[in-house]
């Protein structure tokens, strides 16, 4: 098996910057330099994206940034002992020991087990002390190899053999050994159960806990949390068995062990697989990092929950699911909940719009713009073997007309789901699965009445909150199974759709018609002003909430676009063009115009930003904005506003909601689309260079004080 770490992958007592980003980038470059990764940028992007999900600092001055990446060719460990320390988000302060774990997307199980084993070793104080005292790279490699080659520990997947809880009938088992210990634990269950019966004089058995740990990558935090929880349970004198749902495989806890457990701990950043197995058990749930930082507190909370009849429990995946959602959302105010619901609806709606819009654009390309008048007749009366004789003059002949009609009709039917999908998934975000059907129905009603996306938003919110309220009702146990599949969809659909028909629909239709009329009538200064506003919003936070509002506004309006009402297409084009400016401008400035003003890392980011910008991925400019927000963001907003104004003034339209230059066939007046992007890109690039040159922080003049001291 290939060695996971070599001396070339070790840095000792080095200054690698003052932020996790610079440390991770440096270690990623070392991995690539040794031929273990195909590129630095792809590996860094994957690792830093993982870091942004959950900080990888753990108590003891340690950080374990890690990822699975297509750029990695060989499973690898890179290590740095930092001087000065860097804050990776641990509660007890910055880290001086950093292990970067890089695994290929398709890493084999043996390698993944070794990577996970190293992560577990890092919570052992003697091991970390030896790492801090090592005097050479070779000594570090020897220590790591020794930890990985420890055969007995290699099979104690979630807990070492000595992790037997005081007074328990069976030792706490880990992920790999869970099933083996499960049978023994189950054998001790009857006596324990008898001892806990009311009025029995037999001493009460120790509490039995089960836990699940999981993180998005499943390499480090998953196993470290498992070990930390097991150690804390051992000290508390309770039996704890852990199921690690990680990359190196997971062995499910024995059902008998789960049945005998008094409480459950979920230390997870992702959904628990097979959560229904724990239904009805008292549960303590927290991010996986808390299982590393505060395992003793989690164990104590689980013990307390086991004796508390009012403790939060794993739901039975019916009406009780609402209680779990309410608990998770307790800290959110109404604005956050609304934003989350609306963005959820938009995110699920976009695939319908993206596919439908591109198909309509292809239909127009092959069948001509008048294909809308012929499409219904052609797709019903003709076939590939019976091509139409009547079709638009600018179609690509009979075959082009037929294929264009088919593509247009598929796209139009896909766009027909825009409002129902928007409403359905807004309701889903509020009420979970029971809200989907009422939301879709309310959205269909909005579409039928001509209320457009505004009607879909109102209908989805209405259906979601009504379903949520009904789900909160306390009903008889025998009725709970019917709640999510019959009662909630029935009542919520009836109330929400009834309100749309009887009260809300007509006013929303009037507002929608007025908005469409206003947008259609925008010309000259009005259209340019709208383009400026949209451009400013798209470049303000580069994929953040403001950017998403502008994008969602454009995407939601595509369903109302027609040949006679092209304003939604024009708005979409302005939004897309403006969103392409920041990454393209940063690429131009950092790789062509003035490289010296940018760090080597930014120059590397600039190379990737060319493709990201051309694809309409505004986030390509985030590394630049994060490093220098007061110069990059204003410059981006200036260029984006100019691009939006030019696009709207020229009447550029886009039938596709995404894709940038690669959906050229879906863009009307493509030449001006490109011109608007080029102008905005140049303005932003020159602006950011000017700001970096002349808008600099003034340093204290060290010459002036001299006369005063002489």
Active site residues per annotation: 66, 215
Inter-helix orientation angle 40-53/600-614, to 10°: 90
Inter-helix orientation angle 525-540/545-557, to 10°: 130
> Could you tell me which residues come within 8 angstroms of residue 391 by beta carbon, excluding any fewer than 6 positions away?
367, 368, 371, 374, 378, 398, 401, 402, 405
d(CA 573, CA 531): 10
The sign one gets for the Cα dihedral 39, 41, 46, 47 is: positive
The sign one gets for the Cα dihedral 290, 291, 296, 302 is: positive
d(CA 654, CA 666): 6
Helix (H) or strand (E) holding 654: strand 653-654
Determine phi and psi for 424, rounding to 5 degrees. -60, -40
205 φ/ψ sector (left φ>0, alpha ψ -120 to 50, else beta):
beta
d(CA 697, CA 562): 52
- Asked if 669 and 653 touch (Cβ cutoff 8 Å), the reply is yes
In terms of Cα–Cα distance, which of 94, 76, 98 is closest to 85? 94
CA distances (Å), origin 271, targets 214, 286, 288, 659: 8, 12, 11, 31
Residues in the chain: 710
DSSP letter at 199 equals T
DSSP letter at 524 equals T
Q: Which of helix, strand or coil describes residue 535?
A: helix
239-244 vs 66-69, strand pairing mode: unpaired
Q: What angle do CA 219, 220, 225 make, to 5 degrees?
A: 125
Q: Return the structure tokens found at 314.
A: 């794993």
Q: Which of helix, strand or coil describes residue 55?
A: coil
CA distances (Å), origin 157, targets 115, 242, 611: 12, 9, 43
- Asked if 58 and 64 touch (Cβ cutoff 8 Å), the reply is yes
Q: Which of helix, strand or coil describes residue 365?
A: helix
d(CA 255, CA 258): 5
- Asked if 496 and 438 touch (Cβ cutoff 8 Å), the reply is yes
Helices (H), 368-451: 371-381, 397-415, 418-431, 436-449
Distance of alpha carbon 618 from the chain centroid = 16
In terms of Cα–Cα distance, which of 489, 337, 322 is closest to 426? 337
Q: Return the structure tokens found at 397.
A: 């002949």
């Amino acid at each position: 098996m290939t060695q996971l770490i070599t001396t070339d992958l070790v840095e000792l007592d080095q200054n690698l910057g003052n932020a996790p980003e610079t440390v991770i980038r440096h270690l990623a470059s070392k991995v690539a330099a040794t031929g273990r990764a195909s590129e630095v940028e792809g590996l860094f992007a994957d690792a830093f994206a993982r870091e942004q999900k959950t900080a990888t600092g753990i108590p003891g001055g340690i950080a374990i940034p890690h990822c699975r990446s297509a750029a990695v060719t060989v499973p690898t460990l890179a290590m740095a002992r930092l001087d000065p320390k860097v804050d990776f988000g641990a509660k007890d302060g910055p880290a001086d020991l950093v292990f970067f774990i890089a695994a290929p997307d398709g890493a084999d199980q043996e390698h993944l087990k070794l990577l996970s084993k190293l992560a577990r070793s890092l919570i052992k104080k003697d091991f970390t002390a030896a790492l801090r005292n090592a005097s050479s790279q070779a000594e570090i490699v020897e220590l790591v190899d020794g930890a990985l080659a420890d055969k007995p520990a290699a099979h104690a997947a979630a807990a070492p053999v000595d992790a037997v809880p005081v007074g328990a009938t069976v030792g706490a088992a880990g992920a790999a050994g869970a099933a083996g210990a499960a049978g023994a634990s189950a054998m001790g269950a009857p006596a324990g159960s008898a001892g806990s019966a009311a009025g029995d004089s037999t001493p009460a058995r120790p509490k039995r806990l089960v836990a699940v740990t999981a993180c998005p990558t499943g390499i480090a935090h998953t196993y470290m949390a498992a070990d930390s929880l097991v150690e804390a349970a051992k000290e508390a004198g309770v039996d704890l068995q852990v199921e690690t749902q990680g990359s190196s495989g997971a062995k499910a806890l024995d059902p008998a062990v789960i049945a005998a457990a008094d409480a459950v701990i979920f230390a997870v950043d992702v959904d628990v697989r097979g959560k229904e197995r724990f239904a009805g058990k008292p549960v303590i749930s927290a991010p996986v990092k808390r299982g590393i930082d505060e395992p003793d507190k989690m164990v104590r909370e689980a013990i307390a929950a086991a004796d508390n009849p009012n403790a939060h429990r794993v739901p039975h995946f019916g009406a009780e699911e609402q209680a779990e959602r309410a608990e998770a959302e307790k800290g959110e105010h109404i604005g956050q909940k609304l934003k989350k619901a609306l963005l959820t609806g938009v995110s699920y709606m976009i695939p319908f719009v993206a596919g439908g819009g591109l198909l309509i654009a292809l239909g127009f390309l092959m069948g001509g713009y008048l294909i809308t008048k012929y499409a219904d007749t052609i797709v019903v009366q003709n076939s590939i073997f019976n091509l139409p004789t009547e079709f638009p003059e600018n179609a690509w002949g009979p075959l082009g007309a037929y294929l264009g009609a088919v593509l247009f009709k598929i796209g139009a039917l896909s766009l027909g789901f825009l409002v129902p999908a928007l409403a359905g998934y807004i309701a889903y975000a509020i009420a979970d699965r029971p809200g989907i059907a009422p939301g879709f129905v309310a959205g269909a009603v909005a579409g039928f009445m001509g209320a457009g996306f505004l009607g879909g938003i109102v209908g989805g919110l209405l259906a979601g909150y009504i379903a949520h309220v009904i789900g909160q009702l306390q009903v008889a146990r025998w009725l709970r199974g019917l709640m999510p599949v019959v009662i909630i969809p029935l009542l919520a659909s009836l109330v929400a759709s009834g309100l749309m028909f009887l009260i809300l629909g007509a006013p929303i239709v009037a507002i929608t018609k007025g908005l469409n009329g206003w947008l259609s009538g925008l010309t000259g200064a009005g259209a340019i002003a709208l383009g400026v506003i949209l451009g400013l919003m798209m470049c303000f936070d580069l994929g953040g909430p403001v950017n998403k509002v502008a994008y969602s506004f454009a995407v939601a309006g595509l369903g109302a676009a027609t040949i006679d009402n092209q304003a939604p297409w024009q708005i979409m084009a302005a939004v897309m063009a403006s969103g392409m400016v920041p990454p393209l401008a940063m690429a131009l400035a950092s790789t062509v115009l003035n490289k010296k003003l940018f760090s080597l890392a930014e120059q590397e980011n600039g190379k990737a930003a060319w493709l990201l910008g051309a694809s309409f991925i505004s986030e390509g400019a985030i590394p630049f904005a994060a490093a220098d927000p007061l110069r990059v963001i204003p410059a981006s907003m200036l260029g984006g506003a100019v691009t939006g104004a030019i696009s709207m003034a020229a009447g550029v339209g886009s039938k596709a909601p995404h894709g940038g230059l690669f959906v050229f066939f879906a863009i009307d007046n493509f030449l001006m689309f490109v011109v608007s992007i080029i102008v905005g890109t140049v303005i932003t690039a020159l602006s950011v260079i000017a700001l970096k040159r002349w808008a600099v922080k003034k340093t204290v003049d060290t010459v002036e004080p001299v006369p005063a001291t002489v």
